Amino acid sequence: MLSRVAESIFWMARYMERTNRMLRMLHTKYISSQDEITDFSWNSVLKTYSDKPEEEFVLFEKDSSKVLEHLVTDRDNSFSVINNIIRARENARSVQDHITKEVWQCLNEYFHVIRDPSIEFNIQKGDPVTSLEILIRQGMLYNGTVDVTMAREEGFNFLNIGRFLSRAVITTDLLNIKLTEYNYDLKKHAEDPTWRFLLYSLSGYELYLKTNRGNLYAKLVIEHVLYNTDFPHSLLYSLTRLKRYFERLKDKSTPESYSQLEFRIGRCFNNIKYSNIAGNSELLKKFLQEIRGELFDIANLFNKLYFGNT
């Protein structure tokens, strides 16, 4: 497979995974904002998903409608949902011969759905939940279409590498956002009921309740998000799948390129699997920063070694 084709499929998957997880987080965050008795702020979310400097977004960080407009439909925000979808569609268009007709049609439809004036109107002045749920369902349709129509060939491997790399980054980001809201004070928030919103954002609440018999404790929630390999959005699950799909590229790779990335992915995987930091605030903050850095190093190595970019 040509490197430019692999790169486009990889980035299509990255943008779509980022879009789908971002929408679930915004949906959950907005609902939780309606439950808050004290002043609700989107500051930690905007720090992660806005390209504006903090001195600009603090002016509207407590206005949910303006925040959602900025993060979902604002084309001037390079990290917005609509820009992710536009970029995913552009990458898909350039490799239509290497993805199924159904995947292309699904992405094209997603693009037209988010441009529907009713979506933006509801986010700004109507019912944001309705618009977010429409977009979330469109994302679920995309994931299902990929899984049931794409041939299990080289392109599918790059697609899943992009998907699970982005998923790992997003899981790290969402856990960091929640912990930042708590000032990384696990003792004070050891049994805080709002931990459930992190689990909702990651589609992991029901599995958590089944696994832990309904007990909502900070340490158990963090362990679930980091280590539960039955949970499709846990950090360890994402790295396990990333490692699995990368190993399928061995026969198509140069030994030197494969060896370098195999080492980096394996090191990141082991750093997660053999860590034990769920109950330690200071170690947890450092751990999340280091893992996020390692994930971006892996992405940069793909860019250099497999896609021919310097």
Q: What pLDDT, on a 0 to 100 scale, did the predictor assign at position 28?
A: 95
Q: If you search the block for the tokens 């779509």, which residue do you land on?
A: 16
**CA-based radius of gyration for the chain:** 19
Q: What is the rounded distance in angstroms from the CA atom of residue 310 to the CA atom of residue 308? A: 7
> How far is the C-alpha of 236 from the C-alpha of 101, rounded, in Å?
32
Q: Which of 110, 45, 105, 106 is nearest to 84 (CA)?
A: 110
> What pLDDT was estimated at residue 229?
96
**pLDDT value at residue 38:** 66
Tokens 């995913």, residue located: 88
Query: How high is the pLDDT of residue 308?
Result: 82
Look up the pTM and report it.
0.94
Q: Round to whole Å and give the CA distance between 20 and 27.
A: 11
Give start and end residues of each alpha helix (H) in the chain.
3-35, 43-49, 54-57, 64-68, 81-94, 101-114, 117-124, 128-149, 154-181, 195-201, 205-212, 218-227, 235-247, 255-273, 281-301
Q: Report the Cα–Cα distance between both ends of the chain, in Å, rounded.
A: 19
Mean pLDDT for each consecutive 10-residue tract of the chain (310 residues)? 92 98 95 77 92 91 93 96 98 96 97 95 91 97 97 96 98 95 89 91 95 89 96 98 97 94 97 91 93 97 89
